[in-house]
Amino acid sequence: MTGTAANGNGNNGSFGRFWAMTVKEFIQMTRDRITLATMVMLPIMQLFLFGFAINTTPHNLPTAVLMRENTDVGRSILAALENTDFFRIETVITRAEDMDELLQSGRALFVVEIPEGFERSLRRGETPSLLVAADATDPVASSSALSALSGIVTTALANDRQIEFSEPTKPAFSIVQHRRYNPAGSSTLNIVPGLLGTILTMTLLIFTALSVTREVERGTMENLLSMPIRPLEIMLGKIAPYVLIGLVQALLIIAAGFLVFRVPILGDPASLTAATALFVVTNLSIGYTFSTIAANQLQAMQMAMMFFLPNILLSGFMFPFAGMPNWAQWIGEALPLTHYIRIVRAVMLKGANIETLAYDTAALAALMAIAMLIAVRRFRRTLD
């Protein structure tokens, strides 16, 4: 009886200690609000991003129409393109020079050219050619839309204008596709430039997200506070070495892409260097902001990963940007990686320069200024 009672008391005591430890852990977890928020928000974010924002069949792709003739057939084709959800007509142009500028800057992913004499050839029973120039730097986005184009135009000609052909089995027209910048549709040419921005984002965020919290945990923050130095000077001094590291990383990735994966560099290297420097400083400033908010290095790492996830999913790196809903594109426009991927792909594959990519360059500069301003203010509060 005594042994049994002792055994029972031992079991009760073990359970009590287990329960006390469990309660203590729950209390500690609720006190660490950033970690708790990360645990709750990360799966929810993944669910919404994958469920609603990600679409491998893109729609509403920005398109321009080069009208060589203003005819009923041309207007019918234009109306059909406007009514489909595959294409979003951005502009109607009349000069071939405008087509080159639109494709190189990324304002249009497709230019549909209706050549002179198209309607006349069509009514004579000939087989005229409809010309399509596509930005093939993103093969997934271009392939699905190009495959749908023939059916859209055929329906427009058959239903809207009731054009009849002498030989029903003969194709009414042919589509001549010109896949620019990536004629072979190689996914490597799309992925490697995107990897440049993705790798820089991941490494630079983590580097600087730990900078201030590391000083606090090591007890060296007091030494900084005793020095006659301003918050901006501290921040610039901390991120300066990482700017150099980021540029070295970028150089290594670009060199490997060129030598190993045969990714060309058609544009101005100075433009690519300037854009990369902007991008590096922007990510360092964001990571520095995280380090001033987090209480420890674990929290800083979690915040960096929370920021990295939408960057990789909503920037156009993994999935076509044009295929996302409007709300996801708005979020993507506020992410540095979105603009940098557009710049690096355009410079390396299209031969573009900073002037051609003025919008994305200005957006990246604005994000850098905002990130630096927030970082300095947050660090000043940390010092106080």
* In the predicted structure, residue 162 carries a pLDDT above the cut 90: no
What is the homologous superfamily of the domain 61-180 according to CATH? abc type-2 transporter like domain (3.40.1710.10)
Would you say 131 and 67 are in contact if contact means Cβ atoms under 8 Å apart?
Answer: no
Would you say 245 and 287 are in contact if contact means Cβ atoms under 8 Å apart?
Answer: no
Q: Which of 13-22, 328-337, 348-357 reaches the highest mean pLDDT?
A: 328-337
* In the predicted structure, residue 383 carries a pLDDT above the cut 80: no
* In the predicted structure, residue 81 carries a pLDDT above the cut 60: yes
Q: Where in the chain is the domain with CATH 3.40.1710.10?
A: 61-180
Q: How confident is the model at residue 376 (pLDDT cuts 50, 70, 90)?
A: confident
The tens digit of pLDDT for each residue in 216-272 reads 777 666 676 667 777 777 778 888 888 999 999 999 999 999 999 999 999 989 999
Would you say 34 and 299 are in contact if contact means Cβ atoms under 8 Å apart?
Answer: yes
Calpha distance 374→357 (Å, rounded): 26
Mean pLDDT of 189-198: 92
Would you say 208 and 160 are in contact if contact means Cβ atoms under 8 Å apart?
Answer: no
What DSSP state is assigned to residue 66?
E
The whole-chain average pLDDT of the chain stands at 82
The tens digit of pLDDT for each residue in 275-301 reads 999 999 999 999 988 888 887 888 888
The tens digit of pLDDT for each residue in 51-68 reads 777 766 777 888 999 988
Structure tokens at 377: 């203010």
pTM of the model: 0.81
* In the predicted structure, residue 377 carries a pLDDT above the cut 60: yes
Residue 67 CA, distance from chain mean position: 32
The distance between the two most distant Cα atoms of the chain, rounded to a whole number of Å, is 109
**In the chain, which ranges are E strands?**
61-67, 87-93, 110-114, 129-135, 174-180
